[in-house]
Amino acid sequence: MSHSLTELAVEVLTTADGREKTARSHAAAKLWRDSRAAGTPLEIGSALPPDRPARPARPELLAPREMPKRRPGSEHGRIALIHAVAHIELNAVDLHWDAVARFASVPLPVGYFDDWVQAADEESKHFNLLCDRLEALGSHYGALPAHEGMWRAAEDTAGDLLARLAVVPMVLEARGLDVTPGT
């Protein structure tokens, strides 16, 4: 029996471990793409996403002002930067699958789902590349604390598709891009 797309999204969202979450994300994206290519798309379904996605016990999540300052240029500073970006990528995986499942009752063109599924698959790849790099540097995702505030925008826009579509790219991602030159 095949799962609906929203059931696959909820499976990703309720998986805590980052490597496992992103493996499920990739597998779900492949199922969706293959079903679309075969002309027999998975049903969208109506599985409800959790209010908050499952997360591993580590990293410890801290308020932004409690986050230790990064020291650019040092080996530890480099690890802290990659760790922070890995955390952002993992949040993006959850954000994108949340967008798939949370608004599935809104009449949407199938391209809406194609795009979020594709983006979620790419974020999953980014997370794994950054984890590989952390491990090559003798660290791992979870070794350092991470920012707790990243799900707030998702919660604040859980009832409004247009708010979600405006806030995630224009506030969350745009703010990220603002700091990119320095990074």
The footprint of Fe ion (CB under 5 A) covers 89, 123, 126
Nearer to Fe ion, 44 or 86 (CB): 86
Which residue's Cβ lies closest to Fe ion? 126
Of 18, 57, 59, 20, the closest CA to residue 143 belongs to 59
Nearer to Fe ion, 80 or 121 (CB): 121
Rounded to the nearest whole angstrom, what is the least distance from the CB of residue 119 to Fe ion in the complex? 8
Nearer to Fe ion, 12 or 104 (CB): 12
Rounded to the nearest whole angstrom, what is the least distance from the CB of residue 183 to Fe ion in the complex? 13
Kind and range of the H or E run holding 20? helix 18-37
Kind and range of the H or E run holding 82? helix 75-102
Rounded to the nearest whole angstrom, what is the least distance from the CB of residue 129 to Fe ion in the complex? 9
Sign of the C-alpha dihedral computed for residues 136, 61, 149 and 120 taken in this order: positive
Rounded to the nearest whole angstrom, what is the least distance from the CB of residue 92 to Fe ion in the complex? 5
Of 23, 6, 13, 31, the closest CA to residue 100 belongs to 6
Rounded to the nearest whole angstrom, what is the least distance from the CB of residue 1 to Fe ion in the complex? 32
Pick left, alpha or beta for residue 142 (phi over 0 → left; psi -120 to 50 → alpha; otherwise beta).
left
Backbone Cα Rg of the chain: 17
Query: For 18, what's the count of Cα atoms within 13 Å in the CB-facing half-sphere?
Result: 25
Nearer to Fe ion, 58 or 126 (CB): 126
CA distance 116 to 98: 9
Nearer to Fe ion, 21 or 47 (CB): 21
Q: Letter for the amino acid at 137? A: L
